[in-house]
Amino acid sequence: MLEDGGYFARNWYPAAVAAVVLLAAVAAGTRRLVPDGTAARVALALLAALVAWSYLSLVWADSAGDAFESSNQLLLVLATAWCMAIQPAGPRGLLALIALWSVGVAAICAVRLIQATGAAGLSGLLDPETLRLNDPMAYPNATSALPAMAMLAAVLLASRRELPVLARALMLGAAVLLAEYAVLPQSRGIAVGLVFSLPVLVALASDRVRVVTRLAVVGGMVLIAVPSLLDVGNDAMAERPTAGAVDDAVRLVALTVVLAIALGLALSLLEDRVRVARPTSLSPRRVAVGGIAVALAAAGVAGAVLGPRTVDWAESTWSTAGPYPAGGSRLLSLAPEERPDYARVAWDLFLEKPAGGVASGNFGREYDARRTLPKRSRYTHNIFLRFLAENGVVGILLFLGVLGALLAGAMTGMRRLDGPGRAASAASMAVGAYLVGHGNLDWLEEFAALTGPAIGFTFASVALQRRGAAADPWWERLHRGNRGLAAVPRPVAVAGGLCSLTVALAVLVPPWLSVRYLERVKEGGKAEQVRADLRRAADLNPLSVEPLVNEGRLDLELGNKQDARAAFRRSIDREPTWYAYLQLALLDAQERKWVDAERELEQASMLSANDRVLNEARKRILGRTEVNAVEFDRTFVEGPGLDPGSVG
């Protein structure tokens, strides 16, 4: 498990380097570059085109540093997908890998629950701002998504007849544990994720009755435990002691897990003794047509019964964005919080630049300048709106093409796969569908610990071979055709591979080292060493503004006002930011250059609307009140990087 879910650059950059190196090793070891199956090849090609388009967006990006970082994250996704698509493990190996991942997530959740018992309660496991459970992913909604995704795989594995009875029962218990842990952070996106993923899991599974039976057991156990689980979150968010509620919830979780294991044993023994006639296999076309028909029928009935009330609720709720009502459970609230404002800005950006968008990773910069609410956001909280706003029509079409190719591959897999292959496909596609569904309300794509399994398992399942070849051991498949390299002369293939590896590492390693220097800066130290680290960081990543901004903060701390001013000016030359302009305004105000301070502050306001920090600075500057830049920064600004007072 990546630390903090792989969200921070210090965590995902080494993962990206490792993924690229592993891809090169797998390609060299298997002598394959192209995965099996047309769908897998098309999906991989479209994903590669999306990554290339993302890097191209640096040309028109206002923040080239953010665009570069976002593109490097997509490169990690591509390397993961490519590596998993050509790996030689086969259906059984992929299913075993999925099982290990699901069991590993369950073990992490169990350890966290045990740690939470006792007098401390959830102390140390809560998000400091929202007071919701955020461990192990450092973000509550991602903390909910991880066990929910693993639960889908556990349910599928609990239904597999080829597994031992005890293993099936234990997997059902693990599924209950995962589902109940997913409730604790009170993430409402889990409902959308399950709406997307559960139909996929059932439709693609070969033993649908078994899967539905296990889902019913999991649902029943969660219903038993959910009041206690909600009490934990409600007490935490109300800043009440959580120890008692946590102990009660953990005891109930343990009880329901034991009950699920017992029910799993009973179901497995009964199914092994009573051979129920297997239902007629449905073709992919019938599944698709049937699913669309059911969805349209349900939508028609819901529209006829609830249509007017739904429209009224949507208009009133989304026109008055705000937090969920106090005193109630967040999980049961329909308040959209700031999401309507995110969607408004994202749509406006698309209309302004429909072809290529504002560039990868640049939504946050634009949102700061256009928001009507105080809270900042780097993300659209909707993966489709993100590609639309940041990458335009080209980006969203490429993304939809990737999803379409993967879906086509899954439908084809219903015909050509059986046994472990069919099971691996169902579990993988359900995990991927969950990420897409939950991603409609959040920014889960930023967490490598979520995108890794979702993307990797999905591409691996679509690339699974046909029935006859799938049964062969991996060491025989290794040398069966050398697809992708057979027609290429060996020297050309080696040279091309080395060049590609060199380019990828040249793109990833310098910014990773830059991030490492910035992390060392945050630890403090002697001023000379800190300054040297900042300059190394700036040289290693000439697109990032963070080293220069932090150099300005360092000089402020040391009282070197002119050096600080010069550093902030250099940062603005690299990329204008509201923070750098604010610091220049404060320095001017400190020297009683009020007109210059007002001008700099106006520049900052153009980059950050409705900003409480800038409003406070404006009040002082217009009132001609004496300002100390360092004290103001410490009091009002949650600036990036350097910890004030840590420099010796």
**What are the chain's domains?**
544-636 (1.25.40.10)
Asked, as a colleague might, if the bond just before 136 is cis with ω within 30 of 0, I would say yes
Give the integer Cα–Cα distance in Å for 136 and 112: 8
- Rounded to 5°, the CA angle 234-235-241 comes to 170
Q: What is the DSSP letter of 5?
A: G
Q: Which residue has the tokens 């007849």?
A: 161
3-state secondary structure of 525: strand
Over residues 299-325, the pLDDT tens digits come to 454 454 444 554 454 455 445 555 545
pLDDT at residue 646, rounded to an integer: 38
Over residues 209-237, the pLDDT tens digits come to 999 999 999 999 999 999 999 988 888 88
Give the integer Cα–Cα distance in Å for 369 and 375: 12
Q: Is the dihedral of CA 188, 190, 192, 194 positive or negative?
A: negative
Q: Which residues pair with 126 in a beta bridge?
A: 133
CA distances from 158 to 153, 306, 456, 483 (A): 9, 37, 22, 35
DSSP letters for 252-285: HHHHHHHHHHHHHHHHHHHHHHS-PPPPPPPPHH
* pLDDT < 70 positions in the chain: 1-2, 119-121, 275-337, 465-489, 638-648
pLDDT at residue 243, rounded to an integer: 82
CA distances from 343 to 265, 303, 338, 385 (A): 48, 24, 9, 7
Buried b (16+ CB within 10 A) or exposed e, 241-276: ebbebbbbbbebbeebbebbbebbbebbeebeeeee
435, 441, 444, 450 alpha-carbon torsion, rounded to 10°: -20
* Both tokens assigned to 324: 């969920």
Contact yes or no for 520/533 (Cβ under 8 A): yes
* Both tokens assigned to 541: 């990543």
Give the integer Cα–Cα distance in Å for 334 and 322: 10
DSSP letters for 47-69: HHHHHHHHHHGGGT-S-HHHHHH
Which among 543, 591, 415, 611 is positioned nearest to 67, based on CA atoms? 543
Half-sphere exposure of 473 (CA within 13 A, CB side): 2
Residue 326, phi then psi, degrees to nearest 5: -70, 150
What totals of helices (H) and strands (E) does the chain contain, helices first? Answer: 25, 0
3-state secondary structure of 558: helix
pLDDT at residue 482, rounded to an integer: 47
Q: What pTM was estimated for this model as a whole?
A: 0.87
pLDDT at residue 201, rounded to an integer: 96
Give the integer Cα–Cα distance in Å for 479 and 321: 58
- Rounded to 5°, the CA angle 88-90-95 comes to 125
Query: H helices within 362-419, ranges in order?
Result: 363-370, 383-416
- Rounded to 5°, the CA angle 644-646-648 comes to 120
Rg (CA), the chain: 27
Which among 53, 60, 44 is positioned nearest to 396, based on CA atoms? 53
